[in-house]
Amino acid sequence: MLWISVPTIVTYGITFIVGTFGNALVLFCTVRYKRLRAATTYYLASLAAADLIICSVCVPIRTAEYFLPQWELGMFMCKAIAFVQLSSVVCSVLTLTAISIERYYAILHPMKAKSVCTLGRTRKIMAGVWIMALILSSPILYGQTLVGYPISPDLTVYHCQPTWPSVVYHQVYIVYGALVIFLLPFIVMVYTYGRICRTLWVSNKLLDVMTQGQAGHHQPTQCRLQPPPMGLVVRVRGSTAHSSSSYRDGTVVFSNDNGSSASPWRRPKPTFMPHRRCARIVNRNLETFREQQGRKQLIKMLIVVIALFAICWVPLLLLNILKAFDAVNPYTPEVYYMGIAFQLMGYVNSCVNPLCYAFMSKNFRQVYLRAIGWPCDAFHRMSSCTSTSSGSRRTMATKMTFFSESHISPNRDPATGPRLQMESTL
């Protein structure tokens, strides 16, 4: 039937091309560029390796099955392909679980993470993940076999499929796969990312320096220091930004030329700070904010990766459970077509992760463009690349600028030295 075969073959072809190129690019960039050599990136490289195996080995063979009347590769390849495919899927699940645990330690227990989340330990964990995936996938070697279907007295057609000695064996295997290989790891991931999100979003209230233009306010022009009360988070407000931040040695408060404070917790007789010291405090806070935002973006990307994995593989898992317990008739056309579609969804998952990294991670996007020879000078400045072929794109960036005496000599305050100003640019 063309309306089934053509979309299936086209999807397999796209998955093979995009998945093989994308995952190979992830592995190349991880090895080639030092900026990606971090614990989480190594885990993502392991995930890319598992996806690359599925795209480059399993997808072509499954595609060939649509053109062959029977399995032509023999018993060994029948078992090997099923084992390789299941091992890659299990490795992906265990890798995602390991990433969630690594992020859990890095964010909730940063002191322990210094000794636990090292690159050397990460390599050992990755090796353990692959070994565990091979062990957990080994039962399929027993169940996968060639089944002969007599067409005539002189002709028997063989198909590669799982066959168990009894229904109970099949049901035990399906339950084992659902619980041990999928459900338990996902419970761990839900717990760890739940704790991580709660910690990040609560702490974000203390580091809320998202820039928003506010009309009707004057530019902050003076930088002064006053100690925050115990247990009180001082909120700093300016003409182009508002934030809440805590400092170890004081709190930066911006004021206007008329002396009015931009902070709702103004205390009397503030002490003016030297320009350089003020700059250090503000820069330290901005670095903390950037680190916090980077962590949040990474967690968002990882959650999207997990969600895509679940969306692509859980339908096939549920269908296999229903078929094993006779909840559906596996010989109806509807169930047959559902099996084809759900298998395609699982394979498509192996090619979407590199696209997810490109759209949600600036570092991956930059090294992707660098690896394929894209002329992007912004890569060297650690800023986002913008393609000019699709038209000009306006981006808003807000930066803290400390003017030297030569630049602000007309506005220099003789008592406090150069003033700290905020500048908003397009």
> 125-150: buried (b, 16+ CB within 10 Å) or exposed (e) per residue?
bbeebbeebeebbebbeebbbbeeee
**Which of 102-106, 260-264, 351-355 is least confident?**
260-264
Write the CA distances from 36 to 16, 28, 32, 43, 198, integer angstroms.
25, 11, 9, 11, 27
Q: What percent of the chain has pLDDT over 70?
A: 66
Q: What is the pLDDT of residues 84-133, one digit of tens each?
A: 999 999 999 999 999 999 999 988 888 888 887 888 899 999 999 999 99
Flag whether pLDDT at 370 surpasses 60: yes
Which position has the token pair 């910690």? 199
CA within 13 Å, CB half, 350: 33
User: Are the beta carbons of 346 and 313 closer than 8 angstroms?
Assistant: yes
Domains of the chain: 2-204+299-377 (1.20.1070.10), 222-287 (no CATH)
pLDDT value of residue 33: 87
pLDDT value of residue 253: 45
CB-based contacts of 82: which residues, under 8 Å, 6+ apart?
140, 141, 144, 160, 162
Q: What percent of the chain has pLDDT over 90?
A: 41
For residue 344, the tally of other CB atoms under 10 A from its CB is 19
**Average pLDDT over the chain, rounded to an integer:** 75
- Give the predicted TM-score (pTM) of the model: 0.69
